[in-house]
Structure formats: C-alpha cells, structure tokens
Amino acid sequence: MKKKIAVLVILTLGIAAYYYFDLGAYLSLESLKTHRDRLQAFYEANRAGMILGFIGVYIVTVALSLPGATILTLTAGALFGSVTGTLVVNVGATLGATLAFLVARFLLSDWVEARFGEKLKPFHEGFARNAFNYLLFLRLVPLFPFFLINLAAGLTRIRTGTYILGTMIGILPGSFVYANAGANLAAINSLQDIASPGVLGAFALLGLFALIPTLYQRYKGRRAESTTP
C-alpha cells in the first residue's frame, strides 16, 4: 500500500508541475517554429546530450499521459531529421508507454480484478490469445488515444514483452509521418495539415491488416465447430 501511495504522489507532483509552470506553452507549433534555430544550434554543439535529453523528456511526457507528444515528434523531425527523429521518438514513446502500462497495472489491476474479474474473464482470454495483433490494431488506427491504450492495456493480462514489441512496431508509421512533417516544418501551418484524411485512412487500413490473422483464426475455429458431428 505504501508503494502505491508513493507512486501516486510522484504522478500527482509531476502532473501538477506541468500545469503549474505552464510547460504546455512550450509544446506548441508556434513555440517550435520560434525556437527551432536555437534548438538546432544546441543540437549541433551537443548531439548526444540533446538526443538523450529529448528521449528523457519524451519518456516523462508519455509516462505521465501529458499532452504534447505530437509536438515533440515534430520537434524530433525538425532537429534530427526524418529517420533519426523517428528512431528517437520510437525509443522515448515506447519506454514512456511501458512505464504508463506498468503503473496502471501496479495501481489498478488488483482493484479491477476484484470488482470485475468474472465479467472480464472472456475479454482477458480473447486478448491473451491474440494480444499482439490486437495491440497492433489499436496502435495503428488513430481512433484510439495513445495514453488511453497505455492505461487500458495495463489492466489486461498481456505480457510486458508482447506489449513493448507491439508498441514499438505499431507506432513506427505514425512516428515517421509526424517526424517527416517536422523535417519540413516551414510547410506546416497547423496539425491538421499532417493528419489528412488520406493519412488517417492509410493507418486504418494498416490496422485492419493487423487483424487479419486474428479474424482468420476465428473463422477457422467457427468452421471447425460447425463441421464437428
């Protein structure tokens, strides 16, 4: 119990500091365009330190479920380029998402199991059989908020290794799209310029492809049941 209280206190202080110091003001498209040259100069003078620091900021932002990950991804593209920016974001986002996942599991899973265990049993069983494909679908389709998937997955019985791998692969396409957009920052006037219907549709198709193996297994199972005398 003491450990859970300590984790809650740390989370509360981190979130409170974000809003108290108005750190969100620095995570905007206008702020990025204003300070890009200064950030670029700092990166040129200290490449390794900048990359490590950036990954640290990304981890904290995602782990605390704070807004601003999209702007950070644009920043990565603007500073590090499309490819390196995508890799840097992938590391930071995956580690941050894993922390959020583990915290949700540590704080809430026992309570959820005690209260809804029987009702959630079929869901747990289905998710456990196809956890990787389900997670890929959730990561690829932009209908589901990133932070919500992190927290909800922590309440399932998905293995941590499967969660990390599914997250790492599932966020790559979106990370590249935004990092590439950040590398061409001058052409962006709003975030809506990036998330066009065509891009969102492509992500949705990728998500559906991720579900094909699961749907096929269900089809085979039902067909086998129907042919069993």
Q: Based on the number of CB atoms within 10 Å of its own CB, is 1 exposed (0-12), middle (13-18) or buried (19 or more)?
A: exposed
Total structural domains within the chain: 1
Residue with token string 């809804």:
116
The pLDDT value recorded for residue 136 is 85
Residue 198: domain span: 2-227
Q: Can you give the pLDDT at residue 57?
A: 96
Q: Which of 3, 99, 25, 103 is nearest to 60 (CA)?
A: 99
Tens-place pLDDT, residues 23-65: 888 888 889 989 999 999 999 999 999 999 999 999 999 999 9
| SS3 labels along the chain | CHHHHHHHHHHHHHHHHHHHCCHHHHCCHHHHHHHHHHHHHHHHHCHHHHHHHHHHHHHHHHHCCCCCHHHHHHHHHHHHCHHHHHHHHHHHHHHHHHHHHHHHHHHHHHHHHHHHHHHHHHHHHHHHHCHHHHHHHHHHCCCCCHHHHHHHHHCCCCCHHHHHHHHHHHCHHHHHHHHHHHHCHHHCCCHHHCCCHHHHHHHHHHHHHHHHHHHHHHHHHHHHHHHCC
Nearest by Cα to 209 from 144, 151, 139, 152: 139
Residues 158 and 151: their CA atoms lie apart, in Å, by 12
d(C-alpha 37, C-alpha 48), whole Å:
18
The answer to whether 62 and 150 have CB atoms below 8 angstroms apart is: yes
pLDDT of the chain along its 229 residues, tens only?
A: 888 899 999 999 999 999 999 988 888 888 998 999 999 999 999 999 999 999 999 999 999 999 999 999 999 999 999 999 999 999 999 999 999 999 999 998 877 777 766 666 655 666 667 788 888 888 887 677 888 889 888 888 889 999 999 999 999 988 998 898 888 886 777 766 676 555 556 566 666 666 665 555 555 555 555 555 5
pLDDT of residue 73: 94
Residue for token pair 């998330």: 195
pLDDT at 101: 94
